[in-house]
């Protein structure tokens, strides 16, 4: 991995697909939680950044990730989208939102495989379900941002027990921008920040489809309990 990253750092930078953190856009970043630099896409040298999109199940993380990547493509930036192989709920390779929005992705077994598949001209890297990657995803993303990539990681901030999920808390700490989204509580309609597992299966790694979880607010979420009422 280290070699690959070092090699990436030495690659010639091709103008035309290269964003730059432009000081003039800071107010726009603060409002959107998103790195909006399309107007200076050809500037050198590029400065990378980390964006985290987190929240409960159904909060719109995947939709938001796909929206940001679509806008980067509109700005003619080279985009790559990754997901962990373990998430094969809707499709083996595509990233699919609960609403049905789809995008081609590379399904990888872990961080090393992800790094090995990054193309030299890639400027924007999207990672969905980032909570399922091993802890080294944090330093890897940090290094990729140092090398000039805009990395957008979407993932669950809490597991079904309401505990911080895998590398997401650390990614939130190193990110320039963090967007915390909310779903609608299935029971009362309030803002939901928790994912209630409603099938009787234990373990953080159980992915499950839409039928396996409900979005719940703090009051309606039953801490640490699997509600097998379906
Ligand atoms: P996430 O990636 O955060 O799980 P998605 O982006 O895949 O979420 O899906 C968001 C979509 O889920 C919404 O646009 C909506 O159509 C649907 N949805 C289903 N149940 C809920 C809910 N309880 N609250 C909000 N959206 C929901
Ligand atoms: Mg999702
Ligand atoms: Zn509620």
| Collapsed DSSP state (helix, strand, coil) of residue 36 | coil
Ligand having the closest approach to the CA of 214: 1
- The per-residue pLDDT for 156 is 97
Atom 21, ligand 1: which residue's CA is nearest?
Answer: 58
Cα distances (angstroms) measured from residue 161 to each of 105, 138, 208: 29, 23, 15
Along the 230 residues of the chain, how does pLDDT read in single tens digits?
Answer: 444 454 444 433 444 444 444 444 444 555 567 766 554 554 556 789 999 999 999 999 999 999 999 999 999 999 999 999 987 777 778 888 998 888 899 999 999 999 999 999 999 999 999 999 999 999 999 999 999 999 999 999 999 999 999 999 999 999 999 999 999 999 999 999 999 998 877 676 666 667 889 999 999 999 877 765 43
Give the mutation target among 131, 156, 183 for probing the ligand 1 site: most ligand atoms within 8 A of CB.
183
Task: Estimate to the nearest angstrom the gap between the alpha carbon of 55 and the chain centroid.
Answer: 11
Cα distances (angstroms) measured from residue 20 to each of 79, 121, 182, 214: 15, 14, 30, 40
Based on the residue annotation, tell me whether 129 is a catalytic residue of this protein. yes
Of 44, 129, 214, 227, the active-site residue reads 129
Q: Are the beta carbons of 148 and 141 closer than 8 angstroms? A: no
- The per-residue pLDDT for 125 is 98
| Structural domains of the chain, ranges and CATH numbers in brackets | 2-181 (3.40.50.300)
- The per-residue pLDDT for 11 is 38
- DSSP run (H or E) holding 112: helix 111-116
- The per-residue pLDDT for 206 is 67
Ligand having the closest approach to the CA of 63: 1
| Collapsed DSSP state (helix, strand, coil) of residue 106 | strand
- Helices 2-10 + 137-146 axis angle, to 10: 10
Residues in the chain: 230
Answer whether 195 contacts ligand 1 (Cβ < 6 A).
no
- The per-residue pLDDT for 5 is 55
Answer whether 58 contacts ligand 1 (Cβ < 6 A).
yes
Distance CA 71, CA 102 (A): 15
Of 81, 80, 164, 171, nearest to 121 by C-alpha is 80
pTM for this model (two decimals): 0.84
- The per-residue pLDDT for 144 is 98
């Amino acid at each position: 991995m280290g070699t690959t990253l070092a090699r990436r750092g030495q690659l010639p930078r091709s103008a035309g697909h290269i964003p730059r953190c432009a000081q003039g856009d800071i107010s726009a970043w603060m409002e959107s939680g998103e790195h909006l630099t399309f107007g200076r896409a050809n500037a050198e040298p590029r400065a990378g950044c980390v964006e985290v999109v987190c929240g409960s199940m159904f909060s719109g993380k995947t939709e938001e990730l796909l929206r940001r990547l679509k806008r980067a493509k509109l700005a003619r930036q080279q985009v790559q989208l990754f997901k962990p192989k373990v998430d094969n709920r809707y499709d083996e390779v595509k990233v699919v939102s609960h609403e049905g929005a789809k995008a081609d992705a590379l399904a990888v077994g872990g961080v090393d495989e992800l790094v090995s598949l990054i193309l030299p001209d890639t400027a924007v890297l999207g990672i969905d379900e980032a909570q399922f990657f091993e802890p080294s995803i944090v330093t890897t993303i940090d290094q990729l941002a140092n090398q000039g990539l805009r990395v957008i990681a979407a993932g669950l901030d809490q597991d079904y027990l309401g505990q911080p999920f895998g590398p997401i808390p650390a990614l939130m700490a190193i990110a320039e921008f963090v967007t915390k989204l909310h779903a609608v509580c299935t029971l009362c309609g309030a803002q939901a920040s928790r994912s209630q597992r409603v099938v009787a299966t234990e373990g953080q790694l159980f992915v499950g489809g839409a039928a396996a979880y409900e979005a719940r607010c703090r009051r309606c979420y039953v801490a640490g309990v699997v509600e097998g009422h379906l």
